[in-house]
Structures are given as C-alpha cells and as structure tokens.
Amino acid sequence: MDRTKHWLTRGTMLAVLLLVGAPAFAQTVPGGIDVWTTPDDGNTKITRFVGNPLPAGYFCNGSPAFSQEIKLKGKPIATSDNGLGSTDTIVQRSTATYVAGVATADITLKALSFEEHAPLAIQCADGVHNFKLRVTLDQHVPVPTTQMNIHSDGSGTGGTFDATVTVPGQLVFTDTTMGTTFAPLYDTVNLQASGASWASSVGTGGVNHPGSVTVDSNGDGTPDLALPGTSSGFHTGWSNHCNPPCPVVIQHQGPHPTWPVPPPPPCPRTVVQAANRELAASKGELSGSASAATSVREYTDSATVVSLTADKVGTTTPIEACKFTQADGTLTVVGNAVASETSASADTVKHE
C-alpha cells in the first residue's frame, strides 16, 4: 500500500504543538511536558484514504474499496495517577536558554491517543460489520526530535511560541462484529504552529502536574513510559491577558481548535442571549447594527466563538457561565448560536 504524508488533516494533531513559553525575567525555560485535549468537533480526521483507497476486500469478504474520511476524537491517555485528566497528546520539551530574546527547546511527541468519532459500518458479504479505529504513535520507528522557539511578551507572565512536531502515526482497525484486530497501518505527518500562546500559570481546569508521571505510550491502556511533569511557570495554550489565565484556542494550519483543557460545552442559550446577560452588569449590550468591534468565527458545526470589544467591562475576572472570558476589555463567548445571530453584521456591542 502506498504511503502518504497526508492521512491526517493538519488540524488533527495541533494538540501536540501548544508548547511552553518563558517569562521575560527568566534566562532559562525549565524542561517538562505539555498536554492537550482535542475536541470532538468533526475537524480532526483521517483523509489519507480519499486519494489512496483501501482496496476492495480489505475489511472483509465483499467489502468495497474504502475512500472515506474518518472523523476522530481524543481518547484520554492512561497514566499512573490519573493526574493528566482528559489529555490525549503529550509532548516532552527540553530546558531552553534565552539567546537574543528567543529560547529554543528540543521537542518530541511522547504519547498520542485518538479513536473514531463513531464506529465505521462496512458492508460485507455476510452483512454489515462495525469497525473501531485507534491512532497512536508508531512503535517501530524512533520519534524525531524537532524544535520550538519561545518568545516573551515582556510582561514576565506570557508570550508566544513557534514549533514544528513530527508525528509518526499508527492506525489499528478492529472488527467488533468478529472480534478481529488488523495489522497496523503507518504514516508520518509534520505539524506547525506559529504565534501560539503561553502563560506562566494555568487557569481553571488546567493541568498542573509538577511531579513525574508514567503514561501509556503505545495505546494498550497500561502506563509504561516515565516522563517529567509540567514545567513550573510555563504553560502553553493559556493567555496571560486574563486574570486568572484563560485557555486559548490554538489554530494549527487551519481552523481546527485544540485546548489545554477539555473544550467548553455548548451554552444552553444563543451567543447573543448569553452575551447580553453577561454584559448587562457592565452596561454594555448587543445591538443589531454592524460594527468593526465584533468578530465572529466558527468553533464547531453547532457552536461559535464571538469576540466582543467591551471597553466598559470593569473586571478582568473570567465569566464562568457558558465559558465567557473577559480580559483587557475583550469578552469572549463560546456557545450555541443561530446562524443569523453569529454574523458580523448582527452581533455588536454598544455602550451607554
């Protein structure tokens, strides 16, 4: 079977790229691990088979050639103490020293765990068979070490980083109808992030695991690889523009969101309703007129993220309801929304 370097979309692994940064006053960035949770939003998927179909008969007697995309979701990595929560991606980073304002660290993917969004239904000669899929690290080749450049914003509490991670992946199909596990398929992807955020501490729900931890590196459910904990003072995927720090959606080569914590659930009300409720205390409300103050972008098929400029919001304390975050006069809203209410011409902020 032909190998390709495109079986995972560029968004699939962006969880692996949110690596740590360093405060301006630090001369070195301590080594450690960075951990990520990938949302089940339909944007993480295997596309390899679209251009390189699995041949007829691959799955079972009578199965047709397979050329579909396969949507994936993160599957929590088993650890020795359950201290990494819903983490599905772990990257280890070396200690780095600032030189001319940039600290360069070596980074290596250590564990990866994805599964199919829903079982695959394959028509066979004897009826429909259901298949599950696991995506983990290829255990037959060494994982390449690449680099990450860390930049401070001068505040001593955050900044940005740029990184490239090489991911040798292993795909294993299991026929749950017959109880048969197939031989693995292998491939490699290179992932890049640019200008991603870090903060000196995590916010609510963030993983802070300073002690060492043993993790499942091969996907068999048993922790087998001892790793250092997360770095003290360096946490990627968090913004220091909030107090306490808030999680940041990292865009990796496309609109695929990856979070340093489990992604927020949809709100029970529309974005407009929820934003009005939270802005009321600050004497700000949404109006129906267009304004450059508002930007809207898609988060998932059923949710949106709306950034609202609200210069009269008098607090930098994150709003918990529906995962709002207020910071430096900006209100971020995550939640369900009707299409007409999520257009840039409909969601704006006005102040009294």
Confidence of residue 7 (pLDDT cuts 50, 70, 90): very low
Task: Tell whether 45 and 165 lie within a shared domain.
Answer: yes
Q: What percent of the chain has pLDDT over 70?
A: 64
Residue 54 has pLDDT above 60, yes or no: yes
Q: Is 243 in contact with 317 (CB distance < 8 Å)?
A: yes
Q: What average pLDDT does the chain have? A: 73
More confident: 166 or 93: 93
Task: Tell whether 153 and 288 lie within a shared domain.
Answer: no
Angstrom distance (rounded) from CA 51 to CA 48: 6
Lowest-confidence pick of 239-243, 274-278, 333-337: 333-337
Q: What percent of the chain has pLDDT over 90?
A: 44
Other Cβ atoms within 10 Å of 146 Cβ, number: 18
Residue 21 has pLDDT above 60, yes or no: no
Angstrom distance (rounded) from CA 232 to CA 199: 11
Q: Is 5 in contact with 166 (CB distance < 8 Å)?
A: no
pLDDT score, position 296:
32
Domain end (from 249, 284, 302): 249
Task: Tell whether 244 and 283 lie within a shared domain.
Answer: no
Residue indicated by tokens 């091969």: 218
- Element housing 277 (H / E): helix 271-279
Angstrom distance (rounded) from CA 314 to CA 319: 12
Query: 347 in a domain, yes or no?
Result: yes
Domain end (from 249, 280, 302): 249
pLDDT score, position 294:
34
Which residues pair with residue 74 across a beta bridge? 114
More confident: 116 or 27: 116
Lowest-confidence pick of 46-60, 112-126, 298-312: 298-312
Task: Tell whether 281 and 148 lie within a shared domain.
Answer: no
- Give the range of the structural domain holding residue 25, as residue numbers without chain letter: 14-249
Mark residue 219 as left, alpha or beta (left: phi above 0; alpha: psi -120 to 50; beta: remaining): left
Residue indicated by tokens 């199909």: 173
Query: 76 in a domain, yes or no?
Result: yes
Confidence of residue 27 (pLDDT cuts 50, 70, 90): confident
Task: Tell whether 228 and 145 lie within a shared domain.
Answer: yes
Query: 256 in a domain, yes or no?
Result: no
Task: Tell whether 96 and 202 lie within a shared domain.
Answer: yes
pLDDT score, position 276:
56
C-alpha distances out from residue 99 to 28, 105, 106, 150, 152, Å: 10, 12, 15, 10, 12
Residue 78, both tokens: 């088993």
Query: 266 in a domain, yes or no?
Result: no
More confident: 232 or 307: 232
pLDDT score, position 268:
54
Task: Tell whether 182 and 327 lie within a shared domain.
Answer: no
Residue 331 has pLDDT above 90, yes or no: no
Query: 2 in a domain, yes or no?
Result: no
pLDDT score, position 25:
46
Confidence of residue 11 (pLDDT cuts 50, 70, 90): very low
pLDDT score, position 322:
47
Query: 236 in a domain, yes or no?
Result: yes
pLDDT score, position 248:
78
Number of domains in the chain: 2
CB-neighbour burial class of residue 305 (10 A; exposed 0-12, middle 13-18, buried 19+): buried
Angstrom distance (rounded) from CA 305 to CA 156: 28
Residue of 232, 263, 249, 254 lying closest to 88 (CA atoms)? 263
Task: Tell whether 285 and 227 lie within a shared domain.
Answer: no
Query: 31 in a domain, yes or no?
Result: yes
Task: Tell whether 239 and 119 lie within a shared domain.
Answer: yes
Domain end (from 182, 216, 249): 249
Task: Tell whether 109 and 163 lie within a shared domain.
Answer: yes
Lowest-confidence pick of 73-87, 127-141, 274-288: 274-288
Mean predicted confidence (pLDDT) in 216-233: 95
Query: 275 in a domain, yes or no?
Result: yes
Residue 90 has pLDDT above 50, yes or no: yes
| Angle at the Cα of 104 from the Cα atoms of 103 and 109, rounded to 5 degrees | 130
Task: Tell whether 333 and 212 lie within a shared domain.
Answer: no
More confident: 98 or 272: 98
Mean predicted confidence (pLDDT) in 260-276: 58
pLDDT score, position 1:
37
Residue 201 has pLDDT above 90, yes or no: yes
pLDDT score, position 57:
97
Residues 148-195 have pLDDT tens digits of 999 999 888 989 999 888 889 999 999 999 999 999 999 887 777 888
Residue indicated by tokens 């802070």: 208
Task: Tell whether 63 and 205 lie within a shared domain.
Answer: yes
